[in-house]
Chain A
Amino acid sequence: NAGVTQTPKFRILKIGQSMTLQCAQDMNHNYMYWYRQDPGMGLKLIYYSVGAGITDKGEVPNGYNVSRSTTEDFPLRLELAAPSQTSVYFCASSYRGDTQYFGPGTRLTVL
């Protein structure tokens, strides 16, 4: 099993550009999450999903959108990138939420 995969690993965006961060899991988990982690800080929840077609906002959803059309995939869309969105983005999946499996992360810089 590949676990949780994320693409791309690194990306540099210009202010105002948009992009989609991809996340996929092969563990048949219903719960999936997107976090951002700024340098030296903790994990902040952006969006999460408890199953295909069901998503909800976390702590810091502004500037992001998600969709969950399948159990496996949970892409995160950044619209109109801003320097404040420079961060490391982690996707995670879980059977119920208590034990989360994280992807390797996407390191995003907005210039």
Chain B
Amino acid sequence: GQSLEQPSEVTAVEGAIVQINCTYQTSGFYGLSWYQQHDGGAPTFLSYNALDGLEETGRFSSFLSRSDSYGYLLLQELQMKDSASYFCAVRSSGGYQKVTFGTGTKLQVIP
């Protein structure tokens, strides 16, 4: 099976950089995805790492290290609108390729 752990809450200052970690236990997966969800809204896709290393998309970057069973989402130049919950997710490489989401991290950006 798959399990993905994230810190439950993170607080950071507007304009700063914040890192949200995701540690996982999995029997095999294709890659690590990240989603953002504002209160009352639906999750939206942010980033995907198929390979180890850093992927950059504007102010957001995501990193994966399979050898360490670890990934993170990096948010730079934080804005108030980045206050949201962030989820990591993996797609299993076995069977019908089930997707499992992490426990989620609620980010609060303060002035």
Residues of A with Cβ closer than 8 Å to B?
A: 31, 33, 35, 41-45, 48, 50, 54, 56, 58-59, 90, 92, 96-105
Q: How far is the CA of A30 from the CA of B33 in the complex (A)?
A: 18
Residues of B within 8 A of A (CB): 30-31, 33, 35, 42-45, 48, 50, 87, 89, 91, 95-104
A sample of 12 more A-B contacts (CB under 8 A), given A56-B95, A98-B31, A99-B45, is A35-B101, A42-B87, A42-B102, A42-B103, A43-B43, A45-B99, A45-B100, A90-B42, A96-B30, A98-B33, A100-B43, A102-B43
Please determine whether B96 and A48 come into contact, CB atoms closer than 8 angstroms. Answer: yes
**11 A-B pairs in the complex with CB atoms less than 8 angstroms apart:** A43-B43, A43-B87, A48-B99, A56-B98, A59-B100, A97-B97, A98-B30, A99-B48, A102-B42, A102-B44, A104-B42
Q: Binding site of A, secondary structure by majority: helix, strand, loop or mixed? A: strand
Whether B91 contacts A96 by the Cβ 8 Å rule is yes
Task: State whether A54 and B96 are in contact (beta carbons under 8 Å apart), knowing that A42-B104, A98-B91, A99-B45 are contacts in the complex.
Answer: yes
B98→A58 contact, CB < 8 A: yes
A85 to chain B, nearest CB (A): 19
Q: How far is the CA of A48 from the CA of B98 in the complex (A)?
A: 8
Instruction: Kindly list chain B residues whose C-beta atoms are within 8 Å of the C-beta of A43.
Output: 43, 87, 101
Bound form: Cα–Cα A71–B102 in Å: 27
**A97 to B91, Cβ gap below 8 A?**
yes
Cβ-closest chain B residue relative to A94 = B99
B44 / chain A contacts, CB cutoff of 8 Å? 102
Among the interface residues A44, A90, A97, A98, which one has the most CB atoms of the partner chain B within 10 A? A98
B101 contact set on A, CB distance < 8 A: 35, 42-45
Q: A100–B46 Cα gap in the complex (Å)? A: 10
Distance of A41 from chain B, by nearest CB (Å): 7
